[in-house]
Structure 1
Amino acid sequence: MSGFKINDRIIGDDDPAYIIAEMSANHAGSKKRALQIIRAAKEAGADCVKVQTYTPETMTFNSDKKWFQIDKGTWEGENLYNLYQKAYTPWEWQEDLKKEAEKSGIDFFSTPYEKTAVDFLEDLGVEFYKVASFSITNLPFLKYLAKKNKPIIMSTGMATLGEIEEAVNVIKENSNENLALLNCSSAYPSVPNDMNLKKIKHLHDTFNLPVGLSDHSLGSVAAIASIAMGGKIIEKHFCLSRDIENPDSSFSMEPAEFKKMVADIRATERAIGNIDYSISEKEQESRRFRRSIFAVEDIKAGEKLTEDNIRIIRPGYGLKPKKWEKVLNKKALKDIEKGTPLNWDLIK
């Protein structure tokens, strides 16, 4: 798999994971808070901050009919239009949010949901895009987005393998090869039984694309585990405090938690390392504490070496344990003081 670039970062098999702080509704209607979130995300170690570009009108229809009501889950009892009214990030903020990200040294991108949002973000100069799980079957939209020839990170929550294949094909057929997929459970919050992190490797092998995790679960276990499964992008909802109520706060990560997650991800990447059977310098030091053959009693010259006067013990300065059968019942060439590591110069 060949990687692709997002600004100055390569997304590929041999590169560190790209970590996205998803702002979503966590600004809770305050532009000042949105700017604070950008700065806090940078401080917490995120590579990128993401917003969403929609309005209630571009997402749904203002109706009280039953089809527009949410009857279970985190947003139970909400009307779709009212929910999006609470959650959306005003478009007139987004230029300033992008400038704040650039000033803070963190990447900025967005999730558009239809053509007018794409056009707005193109005018804003956004360099890459996110496709939400809920948009993966909107093939006309994917075709329009792909033609902008910008990198696309696409979540796959709720999608069948066939639906993912259709979406990937539409993007590639429109001359856009800069695509990554995110494994995702589109439940808020997600639970471990629904995460199925094994899909990360399967998606990678099936589509030969970078794959990561859009993580709506509580805590950092899934995000860290996904790195061990080959994940190269992590997206996690980010807030200043879960006490600031908004539609996303309950499953978002606070700055200290996010910073710890980033540190654990980087440590996990170092621990995964490479396929390497050479002995490290620290391991070389430890090898001396392997077992070897020692005299454990005083042995006179000409005396037999027996299980009573020699043993396989730590440390490793004597003959290796695999020489035990060859040493046993041989005679000492000279007096051997107990506590002496055996070597061939001492044995007849």
Structure 2
Amino acid sequence: MESYIIGETAYNHEGDFEYLKRMIVDIGEIPLNAIKFHLLLESSSCFQKKHPLAEGIKKWMFSREQWDDLIQFSHEKKLGVIALCDDIESIQFINESHRDIKAIELHATSLNEYYMLREAIKFPNQIILGIGGSTLDEIAYAVDFLKENGKKDILLMYGFQAYPTDYKDIHLSKMLKIKDLFNLAIGYADHTAYDDENNVDISALGAAMGFHILEKHYTPEFGVKRVDYHTAVGKEEMIRIKKKMDLYLNVFGGDLLRMSDREIQYGNIGPMKKAVVAKKDIHKGEKIRLEHLCFKRTEEESTIYQRDFTDLIGLEVLVDIHEDEIVDFTKVQYRFNKARYSELTGGLEEKK
């Protein structure tokens, strides 16, 4: 399993088209797997007229034509594109012009918004649901709505967005329970303070639990006071996070029940696990008794598992076996006791 990191741009660009293009270049050079944009085309669809951001956010918005350019540019940089749609118009735009992007995302603020969900089911690819600060009932409503309308490729993005998030509010253990409850892929959206000394470690911790998807805010100007800078990391930090995630995932492994080649080698009987050996000399013609055997580590491998050593008891030895020598079935006469047919048929044959 490899890490999958989404570079979140949010509104850090502050409406500067070229600045956002610079972010795309950086995220592609790190390289991350995907880039996430906040799309808002009609502010009146998202904010009340009297809302403090209703007018101010307009200077951070791009036109449909600009988004066409930015999405195409991201494809050229080999990045998956994720569109977090803040209004219905944005989902409609994606459905009309960019149905080939990786995913659309509904923010936690729109998790149960009927009209947004209804438009989202028209999108052919993955739908991401932001579930930070949401109850299980709210998550279930959105998941059920999508599934009942034929959507199967659903990703739950967990992350408490407090800008920055306090350690005690992260609760990574919830991801395990949510994954079990909904049986869906789940990712971690980290919002640790940009200047926190543990930022890299906390961002990568989900990977230590087997969660390979991370969403992380990025900025080309680390620590500079811009919109959404509070939790955004720079190029150097993002590279460190990626390396640490890959390390954690490598240690975590994949299929927990499958043994690696090294594990199998470690489990070999003889060189590692103790083998069945002669506790004392056993002479040809003798029948093996319990007191003839013991367990010791040996230089060579053995073919008998420790748990099967009792199968040797009572068998006749074909050659002299010396003390400390491995005892296996090549050195004994194994008598195959033929079962009576009547025993296998319950005596039915004899009753005929």
Give me the TM-score of the superposition, normalised by structure 1. Answer: 0.69
CA distance in structure 1 between the partners assigned to 2:31 and 2:76 by the alignment: 15
* Correspondences of 1:179-328 after superposition (within 5 Å): 179-218=154-193, 219-274=199-254, 275=256, 276=259, 279=262
- Counterparts in 2 of 1:209 and 1:139: CA distance versus 1, 3 Å: same
1:38 to 2:32 alignment: no
Q: Percent identity?
A: 21
Give the CA deviation at 1:28.
2.6
CA deviation digits over 1:209-230, x for unaligned, max 9? Answer: 0011111113233331111223
Query: Which of structures 1 and 2 has the larger relative contact order (alpha carbons within 8 angstroms, sep 6+)?
Result: 1
Number of equivalences: 267
User: Pick from 108, 123, 126: which aligns with 1:133?
Assistant: 108
What's the RMSD between the two structures over aligned residues? 2.9
Residue number in structure 1 paired with 2:350: none
Structure 1 124/271 Cα, relative in aligned 2: closer, same or farther at 3 Å? same
- Write the letter of the residue equivalent to 2:244: D
Select which of 101, 123, 137 maps to 2:74: 101
Rounded Cα–Cα distance in structure 2 between residues aligned with 1:228 and 1:125 = 34
- In the other structure, the counterpart of 2:347 is none
1:115 to 66, 88, 100: 88
The correspondence of residues 330-345 of structure 1 with structure 2, limited to 5 A, is none
Instruction: Give the drift of 1:83.
Output: 5.1
Look up the match of 1:20.
6
Task: Indicate the larger mover: 252-261 or 272-281.
Answer: 272-281
Question: Aligned pair in 2 of structure 1 residues 270, 89: CA closer, same or farther (>3 Å)?
Answer: farther
Query: Would the alpha carbon gap of residues 41 and 244 (structure 1) be closer, same or farther in structure 2, given more than 3 Å must change?
Result: same
In 2, the alpha carbon distance for the partners of 1:29 and 1:147 equals 29
Partner SS for 1:220:
helix
What is the match of residue 165 of structure 1? Answer: 140
What's the secondary structure of 1:102's corresponding residue? helix
CA distance in 1, matches of 2:72, 2:78: 10
2:54 maps to 1:81:
yes
Q: Helix, strand or coil for the counterpart of 1:130?
A: strand
Say if 1:24 and 1:87, in contact at 8 Å, map to a contact too: no
Picking from 46, 53, 65, the partner of 2:39 is: 53
What residue is the counterpart of 2:329 in the other structure?
none
The SS at the match of 1:251 is coil
- 1:73 is aligned to none
User: Quick one: structure 1 residues 83 and 231, their matched pair in 2 at CA, closer, same or farther if it must change by over 3 Å?
Assistant: farther
CA offsets per residue over residues 312-333 of structure 1, 9 Å max, x none? xxxx999xxxxxxxxxxxxxxx
Query: In the superposition, relative to structure 1, how do residues 280 and 175 fare at CA in structure 2: closer, same or farther (>3 Å)?
Result: closer
In the aligned structure 2, how far is the partner of 1:171 from the partner of 1:222? 31
Bigger Rg, structure 1 or 2: 2
